[in-house]
Structure formats: C-alpha cells, structure tokens
C-alpha cells in the first residue's frame, strides 16, 4: 500500500483553533489517528489528512467551515468511508471532517412515511429503529455501519431501488452548511422549519448537493422517505447461459414493476467469496443467476405476483431463452435479500479470498448495452487473472440499468493493486464509450468522464462549484475538474 507522503503540513495554530471549535477531544493532528483515515478498501492511493475533526453540532460544523474557508484548508466529509471509491481519501490533505458523532434519529413520521436523521446515523441504527414501526429503507448491500445520508447523497442504491429508484430520489429535505459556513435548507424544511416531507414542488436545489461527492456542502440533517414493510417475502430465482438471455428476462419482468429488487450476477459473483485469482466456471454451471425480490401484503397478492413471474418465464422460454428456475447459492442469496447484511457488510462475499482490496467499475448502463460491454470486460479481467464478477440490475422498473464488476485484490503489495486498477479503468473506458456513466467515481474515473463530457457541462459544473465553494476547499480534487 504505502506511498504516503512523509512530510506533514500540520500547523499547531490550526489544531488549536479546531480544538477551540469542537473541544480538545474532538480534534487532532496526531499522525496515528490521521493514518487510519488515509486509506480505504479501494485501489485509490492513500493520502494523509492533516487534521481530523469530529463535530457534534451544526454550529460546530459552521465554525469549522468558516475557519477552513478563511484559511483555505481543504475539508473532506466522512461518515464511515465505505464508499469503495476513495471518496473520503483527502486528495489535498487538510481537514478530515468525521461526522459520526452527529448520529441522532430526529424523527420517524409513521404517518407521512419519512424520517429526519443526522449524517452519522448508520443503516444498522435506522434499520433497528424503523423495524419498531414496521417500516424500512432501501438498504444497500453494504456495511451496516455505513451512513444512510451519505448513501442517499451519493446516488446510492438499495434493496428497494428496483421499485423506487435511487436513494437520492428518496430525499425529502436537507439542511446543509455551505463551504463558506452559511447554513441553508432545501426542500419543504426551507419554507417551514418543521416540514421535512418533500423536495417538490420547489425548484430542485437539492441537486446542488446530491452526486457531488461531498464537494459542495456538508449535510447536517436529511429527510428521506421510508416505506412500509409487507410481511410476505418471495424471491424468484432463475439462471441463464448468457447475459443476453438474462437481460431479456430482466427487461420483461421489470416491465411489470412487481419487484423491489431485480438483479442478476455472473457465476463468479454468486460465489462466496469471489474467486481470486480468476478460476474458470465449471462447465455445467450457468453463467448468470438472478433473484427477483417481491414483498406482498396478502397471500393472494403474492400469488398474483407469482402468476406474472411464471408468465414472464414462459414468454422468455418461448423466445428460445436458456432461462431456468434455479436455486441461487444460499449464502449469497441471504447476503442480498436479508438487508442490511453483515455477510456483505464485512465484505466476506467479495474479498475474503483476495484480502483487503475491492474496487469496481460501477456504472449506470442501459440494459441493451450490458452484453457487449460484459463480453469486453470479461476479456480484460480474465487477461489480468481477475474474476469477471459482474452484477446487472434494473432500477425503477426498467429505467436505470446498472452494470458493475466487483473486483477483489490483495493490498499487501503494490503490484496486484495496480493490476486491478488498470483493469478497472480499462473496463470503465469501455463502458463510457458505450454510453454508460460511472457512479461514486474515484478521481481516475472522473478524469475519464470529464474527458468525454460536453464542454458546456464541465463549465457548468465549474461555475456551480465556484459559486458554492469559491476557494475550492471541499473534497478538493475529487471531481477531477
């Protein structure tokens, strides 16, 4: 791993001021503490922050931002750092703003189905609180200790995205500290202090903070929609020999919008863990397996869903598909349908064999481009002795197609990391050239995106960023602009 700069830019005057803002116990420039924030699980090169600060109130966040802006010190917001894209690795050093101590669930509105939470609230914490009301959120297949708000901010996806779309679409209101320290609100809470139910019908200024990877402001409260939890879970599992057949099945079933999650994974990703290095798939195993998660209120509703599913299967088989009803590997299925999941959360299913590293080319790619891209990815990955452990999912019916390869690698030595990085960037270029868009992009991806972007788009990004963050202090460098 290593390659951390030996020189530190810490300045005791700055540490002292930060301590005055958040208290002695919540700010530090001690190297061992900074070191623990210098890397994550991805291939992104480690970088040390110069200070770590844990605010406990909105006023403290404002104090930090005003001071940082005045001193032109970079600030990288952090909740759990599990984003798999090096998004919390401070490219430019500066202050690592660890928000975990702001972790209150402020309200669960059981009638209007939304919750107001602080950024430090984890999926685990919210899951246990919501369960008391028989409510749920679209839990990602990630660590239960990860933050709900950071997931929503970064266009995260979860177990209900098949039905409701991205988690950012579930945001109902936000309170944000701007890079210059002012406090703003967006959504209904901007009009009436206590109203957190909807971003619409106002102008969508929440878009100034979603998908910006913590570069435009620090979210201090967020309202998100929550959903009732029907009691009957039925998961339909199938397999096909080709991604083309699988994509067709997912499209046809997706049309009916009856699934909370409609996902398929290649044989390599259905293994717990993903084989590292690459090993060939047994000849008799299907290349693609899928699960379709449905929740129903009554037995009759479940039967109706099953009827639709059977109809779809028949339709696909008539088309000559290799589709079959199949058992999905048990532990892998548990990991993906019992959310939040400790199995996935602890990365057991991804990197237990490889050790320490995971990165992905994670993209939104229309369903009709999946197969040609997968064919190319497979060649790239196998050539580098990496498993083509690929996932495809439909979100919001058939609207967004997600295509992603989860690539584990060991991190003790630099070579395997670089091998994975090169493979992933190569895969990403293929996807971009087919019209896909990477999500939660590390800087390496950002460079590739911006290279292809319309110049007007890049200029607009720069203008918005400059308007909100005139001194470019927030998560500096992360947008690769």
Binding site for ligand FAD (CB under 6 A): 76-84, 87-88, 99, 119, 140-143, 146-147, 150-151, 153-154, 156-158, 213-214, 218-219, 344, 347, 350, 475
Closer residue to ligand FAD in complex, CB, 117/246? 117
| Cβ atoms of residues 83 and 154 within 8 Å | yes
User: Roughly how many angstroms between the first and final C-alpha of the chain, as a whole number?
Assistant: 26
State the residues that interact with another protein by CB under 8 A. Answer: 1-2, 4, 25-26, 28, 30-33, 35-37, 39-41, 52, 54, 80-82, 98, 100-101, 122, 124-125, 127-129, 131-132, 143-146, 338-343, 345-348, 351-353, 355-358, 410-412
SS3 assignment, position 345: helix
Q: How far is the CB of 320 from ligand FAD (least distance, A)?
A: 33
Closer residue to another protein in complex, CB, 58/183? 58
CA 144 to chain CA centroid, Å, is 13
Q: How far is the CB of 269 from ligand FAD (least distance, A)?
A: 12
Contact of residue 153 among ligand FAD, another protein, none (CB under 5-8 Å per partner type):
ligand FAD
Q: How far is the CB of 248 from ligand FAD (least distance, A)?
A: 24
CA distance linking residue 359 with residue 42, whole number of Å? 5
Beta-sheet strands, E only, within 226-314: 227-228, 232-240, 261-266, 288-296
SS3 assignment, position 56: coil
Contact of residue 160 among ligand FAD, another protein, none (CB under 5-8 Å per partner type):
none
Contact of residue 348 among another protein, ligand FAD, none (CB under 5-8 Å per partner type):
another protein
Closer residue to another protein in complex, CB, 39/374? 39
Nearest Cα residue to 263 out of 247, 274, 245, 275: 247
The pair phi, psi for residue 118, each rounded to 5°, is -90, 165
Contact of residue 343 among ligand FAD, another protein, none (CB under 5-8 Å per partner type):
another protein
Q: Report how far apart, in Å, the C-alpha atoms of 226 and of each of 167, 172, 191, 223, 245 are.
A: 10, 10, 22, 10, 34
- HSE, CB side, 13 Å, CA atoms: give it for residue 351: 20
Contact of residue 128 among another protein, ligand FAD, none (CB under 5-8 Å per partner type):
another protein
Q: How far is the CB of 129 from another protein (least distance, A)?
A: 8
Contact of residue 124 among another protein, ligand FAD, none (CB under 5-8 Å per partner type):
another protein
Contact of residue 52 among another protein, ligand FAD, none (CB under 5-8 Å per partner type):
another protein
Contact of residue 422 among another protein, ligand FAD, none (CB under 5-8 Å per partner type):
none
Q: How far is the CB of 123 from another protein (least distance, A)?
A: 8
Instruction: Considering only CA atoms, give the Rg of the chain.
Output: 22
CA distance linking residue 37 with residue 81, whole number of Å? 8
CA distance linking residue 159 with residue 166, whole number of Å? 10
CA distance linking residue 214 with residue 220, whole number of Å? 12
Q: How far is the CB of 354 from another protein (least distance, A)?
A: 9
Q: How far is the CB of 169 from another protein (least distance, A)?
A: 24
Give the DSSP H or E segment for 223.
strand 218-225
Q: How far is the CB of 420 from another protein (least distance, A)?
A: 13
């Amino acid at each position: 791993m290593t390659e951390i700069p030996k020189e530190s830019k810490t300045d005791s005057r700055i540490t002292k001021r930060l301590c005055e803002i958040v208290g002695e116990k919540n700010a530090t420039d001690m190297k061992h503490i900074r070191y623990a924030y210098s890397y994550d699980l991805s291939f992104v090169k480690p970088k040390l922050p110069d200070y770590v600060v844990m605010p406990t109130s909105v006023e403290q966040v404002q104090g930090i931002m005003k001071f940082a802006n005045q001193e032109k010190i970079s600030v990288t917001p952090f909740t759990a750092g599990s984003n798999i894209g090096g998004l919390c690795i401070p490219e430019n050093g500066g202050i690592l703003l660890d928000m975990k101590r702001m972790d209150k669930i402020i309200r669960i509105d059981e009638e209007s189905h939304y919750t107001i939470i602080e950024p430090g609230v984890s999926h685990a914490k919210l899951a246990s609180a919501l369960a008391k009301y028989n409510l749920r959120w679209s839990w990602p297949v990630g660590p239960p200790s990860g933050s709900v708000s950071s997931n929503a901010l970064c266009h995260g996806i979860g177990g209900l995205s098949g039905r409701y779309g991205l988690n950012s679409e579930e945001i109902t209101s936000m309170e944000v500290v701007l890079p210059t320290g002012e406090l703003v609100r967006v959504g209904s809470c901007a009009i009436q202090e206590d109203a957190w139910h909807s971003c619409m019908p106002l102008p969508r200024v929440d878009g100034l903070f979603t998908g910006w990877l913590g570069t435009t402001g620090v979210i201090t409260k967020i309202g998100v929609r929550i959903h009732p939890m029907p009691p009957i879970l039925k998961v339909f599992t199938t397999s096909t020999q080709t991604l083309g057949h699988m994509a067709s099945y997912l499209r046809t079933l997706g049309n009916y919008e009856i699934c909370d999650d409609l996902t398929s994974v290649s044989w390599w990703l259905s293994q717990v863990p993903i084989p590292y290095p690459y090993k060939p798939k047994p000849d008799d195993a299907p290349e693609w397996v899928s699960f379709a998660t449905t929740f129903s209120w009554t037995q009759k509703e479940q039967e109706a869903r099953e009827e639709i599913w059977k109809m779809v299967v028949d339709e696909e088989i008539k088309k000559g598909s290799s589709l079959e009803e199949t058992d999905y590997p048990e532990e892998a299925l548990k990991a993906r349908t019992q959310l939040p999941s400790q199995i996935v959360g602890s990365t057991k299913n991804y990197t237990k064999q490889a050790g320490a590293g995971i990165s992905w080319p994670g993209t939104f790619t229309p369903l009709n481009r999946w197969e040609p891209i997968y064919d190319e990815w497979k060649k790239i990955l196998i050539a580098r002795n990496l498993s083509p452990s690929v996932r495809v999912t439909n979100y919001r019916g058939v609207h967004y197609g997600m295509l992603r390869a989860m690539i584990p690698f060991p991190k003790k030595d630099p070579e395997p990391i670089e091998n994975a990085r090169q493979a992933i960037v190569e895969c990403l270029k293929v996807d971009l050239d087919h019209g896909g868009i990477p999500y939660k992009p590390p800087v390496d991806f950002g460079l590739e995106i911006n290279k292809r972007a319309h110049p007007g788009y890049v200029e607009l990004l720069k203008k918005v960023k400059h308007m909100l963050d005139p001194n470019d202090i927030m998560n500096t460098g992360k947008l690769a602009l």
